[in-house]
Structure 1
């Protein structure tokens, strides 16, 4: 039985839509879209592709061939994914060029952390619509796992960001899945063509077994009705993504992807205020599963909650403590930006500016997750103690703040910088009468909720210059 395809993914010209329109129509509504017209000036589209559209594999091998990468064997399943192993980029390309697909099993290079390995080679510029990327901005400055009992460092690249390059010959493919953290993702075809099949979040329960533990691996295999009794009820969107097109994959949309031609793509996973709730919902679900799995040792375990959190980090990529640290620092960074806007504004209209509204929306989203964490987390002490005065002295935090500043200046077409990281720090907050803010210490979700409430209230009533 074939898939019940009921429609295709919308396609828009990226030069004809504003960020505000994109956020309203696709980010907030969590709808997929294909975007054209945004890749013409990318270095990758010149260096990595021959004039006839064929991948320039010799260039990539010559310049980046020593990199060690993960390669998937598309003909071999291992648990819920394809079997993976490590090889160099040069070895992968040699296989691609010299060995038939039958012999090498359709090898597909995945999850190459190209940007981290080659920061001086600017292969592309992240499109405007995807710049509000909290995940990668944070990981550029901090490790996700700060608890050394939880964080087991593998190397400087593997856990450092979620910016990837994929390379695969015609016929390679990615099994049915939803993205890590239930993040958004975008995927740009530098060359080649892909076929996408999408299932909306409202129907994802239909592709799981009766126990809601395992999902279908390949939607084109014969799906056993006794194991997946509801699969035949699914309805799908399909999409053919051509060279120089970018597809936006929203949170929670399960998808399967096939390379119709030899293809190279650039992919990012990210989240921000629009889909932070999806990240929390997945983490809460995975936490409950991790807890149930070891419930029988609860009475004999000295630190049962700690074990649950370590298992959650291993299974999901982060745990409650990691997410809370993340949200606290992002809240601090947004508060710093708001304070500067309040201080530098010449009228009360500053509150209505697009950047201000964006920052307020961010803080309200962070507050919403903190509220949920209050009522769901077992442990009251989140093993952190962060105060704004100390955090403002962290070099990593200053970099996070001003990457965030540049991001919103770019998104909202404000060419002048919002602030100067060398001058707008503790003294400026003291000048604004925000001594209480500087003395605040955040140790748990209640503290963060109170901090955000107090900050928004204080900034609204601050006197403005006239």
Structure 2
């Protein structure tokens, strides 16, 4: 069908774009942008590309031949996605080379597209690229570098560890390969248009024919930021290798929660007719939610609780050297960033409470067990390095034990429900403020911080395609 192209996507030199400018112009407005000039020193640009600008397929078959990857058959539809098969990288490369010898003539169904390869996790010693500064406030992958998001005891297998370990992917596809319409960050592809260039049912998708589309041709060595919730369809005009990140942080955390809540309600309504005969209906709903999105309510709650503690550790360490006699407006960008993070999590926890989430017996998260936990200590260190880099400040020492000495009070570190997390955040900022003789200053800032102010700390991301 004919679609309406209503504009293009701005393209700018990434070297001339500061983090603050990126936040104000694109993150805060949730608008896409193409960035150039940020891949000059990438090892991938040297190893993965031949001298004539083509994908160096032999490099992959030589160095990563045995890796098992998911491959989409571009000409075969399976429900709302392309049919997926598993093969080794060497098998995929052999198929690509054989197909290219036939120039793809009459071979649409044989076009394969390698997708969702967890390359970073599988080959941590091979540093193919460095995440650009503007995309580095990545809570999702920082967390998954230290913890597993969801573990189903009935289906978990050790050999599946990498497949659920992060959201940093390598894609490889020959000219003509493509990806159906989709939106990223824990969205599934149920009830979604498959191909915008085919006839689309007006009954099933009312108003689709009125949609206005942006068109963008991403050239070699360019990056595109696709904002939260933006549907997009990808067609490879040439043989292509791309690096893809899905990520979220304080700014678009609400998108993730809203999608989880929506998917939960759909999962619950779908099996509502067996509620009366089900021994644990809520647990079944949560398991179905995790199967669809990769995590359930409890996984998400554990994630934001641990991240809250890591942010509190960083905030305390930062404020040790902060002059509280200065006006709030003169605080460092990092301080604003950390307070904004806590405010964002606090709003989500309040929303979870209002929705009546996690009212059953889901267990207790005892944050006091984190102070000497190697995984948590690494998360804190990674988070500190991230904000030091983003705001171009000197690295600072942090002591988790010092923070726990400040926060230690009976039950405040035992988190069972969303209201406990709100209490923990409020208690933490009050105690930290009191430690510096300003008992209420941080709490007032926490209450006043909103997403549309202080763009220094409005770090948000969804999907960066390189």
TM class by shorter chain equals: 0.7 to 0.9
Query: Which residue is equivalent to 1:322?
Result: 299
Question: How far apart are the structure 2 equivalents of 1:300 and 1:434?
Answer: 45
Alpha carbons of structure 1 residues 130 and 138: separation in structure 2 relative to 1, 3 Å: same
Q: CA RMSD, aligned part only?
A: 2.2
CA contact (8 A) 2:185 2:247 kept: no
Give the alignment of 1:163-202 within 5 angstroms.
163-182=168-187
Separation of aligned partners in 2, 1:10 and 1:93: 34
Match of 1:426 among 401, 423, 426: 401
Q: 1:447 to 1:350 in 2, by over 3 A?
A: farther
Q: 1:140 to 1:350 in 2, by over 3 A?
A: farther
* Segment of structure 1 superposing worse, 213-222 or 42-51: 213-222
Correspondence 1:305 to 2:278: no
Q: CA deviation at 1:60?
A: 1.5
| Structure 2 gap segments, 5+ residues each | 439-466
Q: In the TM superposition, what are the counterparts of 1:151-162 in structure 2 within 5 Å? A: 155-162=160-167
Conserved in 2, the CA contact under 8 Å of 1:388 and 1:441?
A: yes
User: 1:409 is matched with which residue: 369, 385, 388?
Assistant: 388
Cα deviation for residue 30 of structure 1 reads: 1.1
Deviation of the 1:153 alpha carbon? 5.8
C-alpha displacement of 1:437: 8.4
1:198 aligns to what? none
User: Cα distance 1:294–1:151, how it changes in 2: closer, same or farther (>3 A)?
Assistant: farther
- Cα distance change on mapping 1:464 and 1:412 into 2, 3 Å: farther
Tell whether 2:336 aligns with 1:357.
yes
For each residue in 1:48-71, what CA deviation from the matched residue of structure 2 results, as whole angstroms up to 9, or x when unmatched? 111221111111211111111000
Structure 2 CA distance, aligned partners of 1:393 and 1:7?
A: 53
Correspondence list, 1:274-313, <5 A:
274-313=251-290
CA contact (8 A) 2:80 2:194 kept: yes
Residue 133 of structure 2 corresponds to residue 128 of structure 1: yes
Aligned counterpart in structure 1 of residue 210 of structure 2, from 229, 233, 246: 233
- Displacement of 1:453 in angstroms is 1.5
Distance in 1 between residues matched to 2:200 and 2:402, nearest whole Å: 64
> Match for residue 264 of structure 1?
241
Is 1:395–2:400 an aligned residue pair? Answer: no
- Point out where structure 1 has 5 or more consecutive residues left out of the alignment: 184-207
Within 2, Cα distance between the matches of 1:242 and 1:437?
A: 57
Query: 1:384 Cα shift?
Result: 3.5
Higher relative contact order (CA 8 A, sep 6+): 2
Show CA shifts across 1:77-106 (max 9, x none). 001100010111111111111124344621
Q: Say if 1:437 and 1:451, in contact at 8 Å, map to a contact too.
A: no
Q: Per the alignment, do residues 117 and 152 of structure 1 end up closer, same or farther by CA in structure 2, a change over 3 Å counting? A: closer
Which residue of the partner structure matches residue 115 of structure 2? 110
Q: Give 2:363's aligned residue.
A: 384
